[in-house]
Amino acid sequence: MHAYHPARPAGLPGLSGLSGSGATGYTNDRGASFNGTTQYLSATNVSIGVGAPASGTLAFWADLTDIDALSTQAMFVLDDTAVGRLTVRFDEATNNLDIASGADANVVLNAAVDLATSGFHHIAVTSNGSRWLLYVDGTLRTLTVEAGSNAGIWLDDVNPNGAAELYIGANQAAAQFFKGTLDEIGIWNSELTAANITSLYNAGAGVIYGVARDIGTVLNYWSLSTNQGGITAAQAGGVTLTNNAVVADAVGVLTGP
Protein backbone atom coordinates (compact mmCIF):
# COMPACT_ATOMS: atom_id res chain seq x y z
CA MET A 1 0.00 0.00 0.00
CA HIS A 2 1.21 3.44 -0.79
CA ALA A 3 0.20 7.04 -0.93
CA TYR A 4 0.93 8.84 -4.16
CA HIS A 5 -1.61 11.38 -2.93
CA PRO A 6 -1.92 11.86 0.80
CA ALA A 7 -5.61 12.70 0.39
CA ARG A 8 -7.88 9.80 1.34
CA PRO A 9 -11.53 9.49 2.32
CA ALA A 10 -12.20 9.31 6.03
CA GLY A 11 -13.50 6.14 7.58
CA LEU A 12 -11.67 3.56 5.47
CA PRO A 13 -9.78 0.85 7.33
CA GLY A 14 -6.06 1.40 7.65
CA LEU A 15 -6.17 4.91 6.27
CA SER A 16 -6.28 6.98 9.45
CA GLY A 17 -4.20 10.06 10.04
CA LEU A 18 -4.39 11.36 6.48
CA SER A 19 -6.66 14.14 5.31
CA GLY A 20 -7.15 16.73 2.62
CA SER A 21 -8.02 16.43 -1.07
CA GLY A 22 -6.04 16.73 -4.26
CA ALA A 23 -2.81 17.52 -2.44
CA THR A 24 0.59 17.72 -4.07
CA GLY A 25 3.26 15.38 -2.80
CA TYR A 26 5.64 12.54 -3.40
CA THR A 27 6.39 9.24 -1.76
CA ASN A 28 8.85 6.39 -1.76
CA ASP A 29 7.16 3.22 -2.88
CA ARG A 30 7.77 -0.24 -4.26
CA GLY A 31 6.35 -1.24 -7.63
CA ALA A 32 7.18 -3.31 -10.69
CA SER A 33 10.30 -2.01 -12.45
CA PHE A 34 10.92 -2.69 -16.17
CA ASN A 35 14.18 -2.13 -18.07
CA GLY A 36 12.69 -1.40 -21.51
CA THR A 37 14.34 -4.32 -23.28
CA THR A 38 13.65 -7.70 -21.67
CA GLN A 39 11.53 -7.35 -18.55
CA TYR A 40 7.78 -7.84 -18.39
CA LEU A 41 5.02 -9.65 -16.51
CA SER A 42 2.57 -12.00 -18.17
CA ALA A 43 -0.13 -14.60 -17.77
CA THR A 44 -1.31 -17.17 -20.32
CA ASN A 45 -4.81 -18.54 -20.91
CA VAL A 46 -6.32 -15.77 -18.83
CA SER A 47 -10.07 -15.38 -18.71
CA ILE A 48 -10.47 -11.97 -17.12
CA GLY A 49 -13.11 -10.99 -19.69
CA VAL A 50 -15.19 -14.15 -19.72
CA GLY A 51 -18.67 -13.47 -18.41
CA ALA A 52 -17.89 -9.79 -17.98
CA PRO A 53 -20.12 -7.15 -19.55
CA ALA A 54 -19.00 -5.22 -22.60
CA SER A 55 -18.13 -2.24 -20.44
CA GLY A 56 -15.26 -1.93 -18.01
CA THR A 57 -12.35 0.05 -16.58
CA LEU A 58 -8.58 -0.38 -16.45
CA ALA A 59 -6.59 1.81 -14.04
CA PHE A 60 -2.95 1.90 -12.95
CA TRP A 61 -0.06 4.14 -11.91
CA ALA A 62 2.91 4.66 -14.24
CA ASP A 63 6.27 6.36 -13.77
CA LEU A 64 7.87 7.04 -17.15
CA THR A 65 10.64 9.35 -15.94
CA ASP A 66 13.35 7.04 -17.31
CA ILE A 67 11.60 6.25 -20.59
CA ASP A 68 13.83 5.87 -23.65
CA ALA A 69 13.61 8.76 -26.06
CA LEU A 70 11.82 8.23 -29.37
CA SER A 71 10.39 4.85 -28.43
CA THR A 72 6.93 3.36 -28.03
CA GLN A 73 6.24 1.85 -24.64
CA ALA A 74 3.52 -0.77 -24.09
CA MET A 75 2.11 -0.74 -20.58
CA PHE A 76 -0.87 -3.11 -20.82
CA VAL A 77 -1.74 -5.67 -23.52
CA LEU A 78 -4.49 -8.29 -23.55
CA ASP A 79 -3.95 -10.37 -26.69
CA ASP A 80 -6.17 -13.05 -28.20
CA THR A 81 -4.77 -13.84 -31.63
CA ALA A 82 -8.06 -15.39 -32.66
CA VAL A 83 -10.05 -12.24 -32.02
CA GLY A 84 -8.04 -9.14 -31.31
CA ARG A 85 -5.92 -7.16 -28.93
CA LEU A 86 -6.40 -4.36 -26.43
CA THR A 87 -3.32 -2.19 -25.89
CA VAL A 88 -2.50 0.88 -23.79
CA ARG A 89 0.85 2.47 -24.68
CA PHE A 90 2.85 5.69 -24.65
CA ASP A 91 4.81 7.07 -27.61
CA GLU A 92 7.73 9.15 -26.37
CA ALA A 93 8.46 10.49 -29.87
CA THR A 94 5.09 12.25 -30.03
CA ASN A 95 4.04 12.29 -26.35
CA ASN A 96 0.86 10.48 -27.37
CA LEU A 97 -0.95 8.13 -25.02
CA ASP A 98 -2.66 5.52 -27.23
CA ILE A 99 -5.49 3.02 -26.83
CA ALA A 100 -5.58 0.45 -29.62
CA SER A 101 -7.49 -2.68 -30.58
CA GLY A 102 -6.51 -5.49 -32.92
CA ALA A 103 -3.36 -5.00 -34.94
CA ASP A 104 -3.95 -1.24 -34.65
CA ALA A 105 -7.21 -1.49 -36.60
CA ASN A 106 -8.64 1.06 -34.18
CA VAL A 107 -6.37 3.60 -32.48
CA VAL A 108 -7.30 6.63 -30.42
CA LEU A 109 -4.82 8.94 -28.74
CA ASN A 110 -4.46 11.82 -26.36
CA ALA A 111 -1.88 14.06 -28.01
CA ALA A 112 1.02 15.85 -26.38
CA VAL A 113 0.68 14.37 -22.89
CA ASP A 114 4.11 14.69 -21.35
CA LEU A 115 4.13 11.79 -18.91
CA ALA A 116 7.90 11.42 -18.85
CA THR A 117 8.91 14.43 -16.79
CA SER A 118 7.20 14.32 -13.40
CA GLY A 119 7.08 10.88 -11.83
CA PHE A 120 3.96 8.83 -11.28
CA HIS A 121 0.74 9.49 -13.16
CA HIS A 122 -2.62 7.79 -12.78
CA ILE A 123 -4.02 6.39 -16.02
CA ALA A 124 -7.56 5.08 -16.40
CA VAL A 125 -9.27 3.75 -19.53
CA THR A 126 -13.00 3.10 -19.50
CA SER A 127 -15.40 1.67 -22.06
CA ASN A 128 -19.18 1.49 -22.31
CA GLY A 129 -18.83 -1.15 -25.03
CA SER A 130 -18.89 1.25 -27.96
CA ARG A 131 -16.33 3.97 -27.16
CA TRP A 132 -13.30 4.54 -24.89
CA LEU A 133 -12.70 7.35 -22.43
CA LEU A 134 -9.27 8.24 -21.06
CA TYR A 135 -8.43 9.89 -17.75
CA VAL A 136 -4.93 11.05 -16.78
CA ASP A 137 -4.39 12.14 -13.17
CA GLY A 138 -8.13 12.18 -12.61
CA THR A 139 -8.92 14.44 -15.57
CA LEU A 140 -10.89 13.39 -18.65
CA ARG A 141 -8.72 13.83 -21.74
CA THR A 142 -9.65 14.47 -25.37
CA LEU A 143 -9.24 11.45 -27.64
CA THR A 144 -8.44 11.79 -31.34
CA VAL A 145 -9.01 8.93 -33.78
CA GLU A 146 -5.81 7.98 -35.55
CA ALA A 147 -7.04 4.78 -37.24
CA GLY A 148 -10.42 3.12 -37.60
CA SER A 149 -12.72 4.49 -34.93
CA ASN A 150 -13.16 4.94 -31.21
CA ALA A 151 -14.47 1.40 -31.02
CA GLY A 152 -14.53 0.85 -27.26
CA ILE A 153 -13.30 -2.73 -27.67
CA TRP A 154 -13.27 -4.33 -24.24
CA LEU A 155 -12.36 -7.58 -22.54
CA ASP A 156 -15.42 -9.52 -23.68
CA ASP A 157 -14.54 -8.61 -27.27
CA VAL A 158 -10.85 -9.42 -27.02
CA ASN A 159 -11.12 -12.49 -24.87
CA PRO A 160 -14.45 -14.31 -25.27
CA ASN A 161 -12.98 -17.81 -25.02
CA GLY A 162 -10.56 -17.46 -22.14
CA ALA A 163 -7.51 -18.12 -24.29
CA ALA A 164 -5.85 -14.72 -24.18
CA GLU A 165 -2.39 -13.72 -23.04
CA LEU A 166 -1.92 -10.78 -20.71
CA TYR A 167 1.26 -8.69 -20.86
CA ILE A 168 2.16 -5.94 -18.42
CA GLY A 169 5.16 -3.88 -19.45
CA ALA A 170 5.47 -5.30 -22.97
CA ASN A 171 3.80 -5.93 -26.29
CA GLN A 172 5.80 -8.84 -27.58
CA ALA A 173 3.95 -8.89 -30.88
CA ALA A 174 5.26 -5.40 -31.64
CA ALA A 175 8.57 -5.66 -29.74
CA GLN A 176 7.52 -2.75 -27.50
CA PHE A 177 8.89 -2.89 -23.96
CA PHE A 178 8.15 -0.44 -21.18
CA LYS A 179 10.93 1.32 -19.27
CA GLY A 180 9.88 2.62 -15.90
CA THR A 181 7.66 1.55 -13.01
CA LEU A 182 4.05 0.35 -12.97
CA ASP A 183 1.92 -0.05 -9.90
CA GLU A 184 -1.59 -0.84 -8.64
CA ILE A 185 -3.23 -2.31 -11.76
CA GLY A 186 -6.97 -2.80 -11.40
CA ILE A 187 -9.63 -4.04 -13.84
CA TRP A 188 -13.33 -3.44 -13.17
CA ASN A 189 -16.40 -5.04 -14.77
CA SER A 190 -18.14 -1.70 -15.29
CA GLU A 191 -17.39 1.74 -16.66
CA LEU A 192 -16.41 3.81 -13.65
CA THR A 193 -17.71 7.35 -13.47
CA ALA A 194 -15.57 10.47 -13.55
CA ALA A 195 -16.17 10.82 -9.81
CA ASN A 196 -14.97 7.24 -9.26
CA ILE A 197 -11.79 7.91 -11.23
CA THR A 198 -11.16 11.10 -9.30
CA SER A 199 -11.57 9.18 -6.04
CA LEU A 200 -9.00 6.61 -7.13
CA TYR A 201 -6.56 9.31 -8.16
CA ASN A 202 -6.95 11.39 -5.01
CA ALA A 203 -6.76 8.35 -2.74
CA GLY A 204 -3.56 7.16 -4.32
CA ALA A 205 -3.43 3.82 -2.53
CA GLY A 206 -4.13 0.48 -4.14
CA VAL A 207 -5.99 -0.61 -1.03
CA ILE A 208 -8.91 1.49 -2.22
CA TYR A 209 -9.34 -0.92 -5.15
CA GLY A 210 -10.44 -3.60 -2.75
CA VAL A 211 -12.64 -1.48 -0.51
CA ALA A 212 -16.40 -1.40 -1.11
CA ARG A 213 -17.01 2.26 -1.94
CA ASP A 214 -19.59 1.95 -4.72
CA ILE A 215 -16.74 1.71 -7.23
CA GLY A 216 -17.97 -1.45 -8.91
CA THR A 217 -16.52 -4.95 -8.82
CA VAL A 218 -12.78 -5.48 -9.29
CA LEU A 219 -12.27 -8.39 -11.69
CA ASN A 220 -8.51 -8.38 -11.16
CA TYR A 221 -6.07 -6.38 -9.10
CA TRP A 222 -2.29 -6.60 -8.84
CA SER A 223 -0.47 -4.39 -6.33
CA LEU A 224 2.91 -5.19 -7.96
CA SER A 225 4.50 -4.76 -4.58
CA THR A 226 5.98 -6.98 -1.91
CA ASN A 227 3.83 -5.02 0.52
CA GLN A 228 0.81 -6.87 -0.84
CA GLY A 229 2.14 -10.40 -1.19
CA GLY A 230 4.64 -10.19 -4.02
CA ILE A 231 5.06 -8.75 -7.46
CA THR A 232 3.32 -11.63 -9.24
CA ALA A 233 0.50 -12.31 -6.75
CA ALA A 234 -3.09 -11.45 -7.59
CA GLN A 235 -4.93 -9.56 -4.89
CA ALA A 236 -8.24 -10.14 -6.70
CA GLY A 237 -9.31 -12.44 -9.52
CA GLY A 238 -6.67 -15.11 -9.01
CA VAL A 239 -4.61 -14.49 -12.19
CA THR A 240 -0.98 -14.88 -11.13
CA LEU A 241 1.68 -13.05 -13.13
CA THR A 242 5.01 -14.57 -14.13
CA ASN A 243 8.29 -13.55 -15.76
CA ASN A 244 11.09 -11.20 -14.99
CA ALA A 245 10.11 -7.71 -13.88
CA VAL A 246 11.54 -6.79 -10.49
CA VAL A 247 10.36 -4.95 -7.41
CA ALA A 248 12.13 -1.64 -6.99
CA ASP A 249 11.87 1.47 -4.90
CA ALA A 250 10.36 4.31 -6.86
CA VAL A 251 9.87 7.99 -6.13
CA GLY A 252 6.71 9.55 -7.55
CA VAL A 253 6.13 13.29 -7.71
CA LEU A 254 2.57 14.39 -8.44
CA THR A 255 0.81 17.61 -9.15
CA GLY A 256 -2.62 17.70 -7.58
CA PRO A 257 -5.75 18.97 -9.32
- List, for residues 67-79, the tens digit of each pLDDT value: 776 678 899 999 8
pLDDT at 11: 27
pLDDT at 64: 84
User: What is the separation, in whole angstroms, between the first and last Cα of the chain?
Assistant: 22
All structural domains of the chain: 25-254 (2.60.120.200)
pLDDT at 250: 54
Separation CA 186–CA 219 (nearest Å): 8
Q: Quickly count: other Cβ atoms within 10 Å of residue 10's Cβ.
A: 8
The model carries a pTM of 0.85
